[in-house]
Amino acid sequence: MKKVTKSDCAGCENDFYNYPNSVSNSCECWCLENAELWKCKAVGIHDSPPWKVADGVLRPKCYRRQGYVFVSPEKSC
């Protein structure tokens, strides 16, 4: 399995912790070391089924973005 890098975290709410900031001294998200990649698709929380979003992409399982849930590509509702 491919190791998750900081570039895989782009757009995640917790990506803030991967760089120097006023909150943390470590410059690494606490999930990064044990993160695993999975193929998923982003679905808006206000979207009604069936979901017509692009096919899945590889993202870390811990990936979070406000207003979205991440589901396996096979799910349509």
Write the CA distances from 64 to 10, 13, 23, 70, integer angstroms: 10, 6, 19, 8
pLDDT at site 19: 78
pLDDT at site 67: 96
Region 5-25 average pLDDT: 82
pLDDT at site 38: 93
- Asked whether the beta carbons of 28 and 50 are under 8 A apart, the reply is no
